Amino acid sequence: MCVKFCICAILGGSRLKTALSFSGGTFVSTKDELGYGEVLEDFKNAKTIRIVTFNLSKDTKDDQLFERLQALESDVDIQLITNIPSRFEWYSSSKTGEYLKKTAGTNINAYLKKLNPDDFNANMIPFFNFNNHAKIVGTENIVYIGSANFSNESSKNYETGIIVKDKDFITNLYKLFFNVLKDNSIPYFKDDYNQLRLFTISILSRLNNHYERIIDTLFLRRDGVEFFIGQETRFTKDDQWELLHDLHELSGITGLIDNIENDDNELEEIIEKISDLCYKIDPDNIIDLIGVDSTFDQYVSYDFENTYWDCFAEYNSLATEDMLEHYTEIATGEANEILEDLCNEVENDVYAIKISLESTIEILKEILLSLKELSLHVVNEDIDNTRT
């Protein structure tokens, strides 16, 4: 696939041109239906959703497009960029200007309400770009590029576009166009709050996945209670390093809460509550339990076959044909004994890791709830320009 990308600076601003070629595209023209219906059907399979639109549906209730987004699971990454029709750069002081300002304020509030990330299970990240007129609706598997907005009203119009399933093209489209547009857009929340919110959502999702992996590979469930397996585990070194990486990243959460600026005394109590919760998190405790050269590290590194051959090597010269079975049994017994000793040594640590992860996950959930209390007060002030 050919990919071309350039940004040319000109006097008074920047000129952006992105040129991408693709294979396997299909032209669609529609009336009385949405041209990106195939993309909507793929939402249920997607982990990545990218939407660029000029406007959204006027409906505040029975908006089937947004109902699809709100029904998605927490591990889905949704990023949406929209304009707000009737919002102007400035409003005159005339009667007409005051009318336009009032209309814009109504629309802005409607868009802020519709796009409130707290109303979505998925990781919804909205942006506003007041120069945008592009329309894209896509997942990591399929994308629509055309004239139709992400609105129910678009189904009533004659619309045209293309459907592309070329994954290399889709990846580059998001990287070279969507991300550039996003970088030139206004985020829904203020940056300091947004960083903490997105980090908390991301790290909570990852730790939940780690926890489920630990339960699945290190425990047996009986009558709703988890018991340590006491045998070789399917928890891998890669699992261990990924968990360590995320725990080290979690250590930076206190810096994110310290970065939140606040000029409102009424919010101080909520921010202090979030700060106290952040400082309760102790990733170092788990890091010590699973780090390099820990008992857990030795346990995860254990491999029966390799250990067996290491043990058998001591008897190699003695393992003549008539004694082979005898020394095979001895080496097998020694390899199993090493595993049994490791299991006995690591058992308490495994339970401690489980309990510490459960505690950390619960604290992160509390932080998210507290962030929701704060969210109404940290909407980006650059979005609504009718209040001045």
How confident is the model at residue 40, as a pLDDT? 98
Query: What integer is the mean pLDDT of 302-326?
Result: 92
Q: Are 184 and 129 in contact (CB under 8 A)?
A: yes
Q: Say if CB 91 and CB 99 are below 8 A apart.
A: no
Domain with CATH 3.30.870.10 in the chain: 25-188
What is d(CA 337, CA 330) in angstroms, rounded to the nearest whole number?
Answer: 10
Segment 222-239 shows an average pLDDT of 95
Give 364's DSSP letter.
H
In this prediction, residue 14 carries a pLDDT of 62
pLDDT band at 62 (very low <50, low <70, confident <90, very high): confident
Longest dimension (CA), the chain: 106
Nearby residues of 364 by Cβ (< 8 Å), 6 or more positions away: 200, 203, 204, 207, 281
Q: Reduced to 3 states, what is the DSSP secondary structure of residue 186?
A: strand
Closest CA to 369 of 302, 277, 263: 277
Going by the DSSP 8-state scheme, the letter that residue 164 receives in this structure is E
pLDDT of residue 12: 41
The mean pLDDT value for 214-241 works out to 96
Q: Which is it for the CA torsion 385, 386, 387, 388, positive or negative?
A: positive
Q: Is it true that domain 25-188 has CATH number 3.30.870.10?
A: yes
Question: Does residue 211 carry a pLDDT above 80?
Answer: yes
Give the pair of three-digit tokens for residue 377: 């007060």
Smallest Cα–Cα separation from 199: which of 364, 355, 361? 364
Residue 273 to residue 289: CA distance in whole angstroms: 28
Cα gap 122→133, rounded to integer Å: 26
- List, in sequence order, every residue forming a beta bridge with 5; answer none if it has no partner: 18
DSSP letter at 189 equals B
Confidence (pLDDT) at 6: 44
What's 202's DSSP letter? Answer: H
Q: Tell me: the pLDDT tens digits for 120-175? A: 999 899 999 999 999 999 999 999 999 999 999 999 999 999 999 999 999 999 99
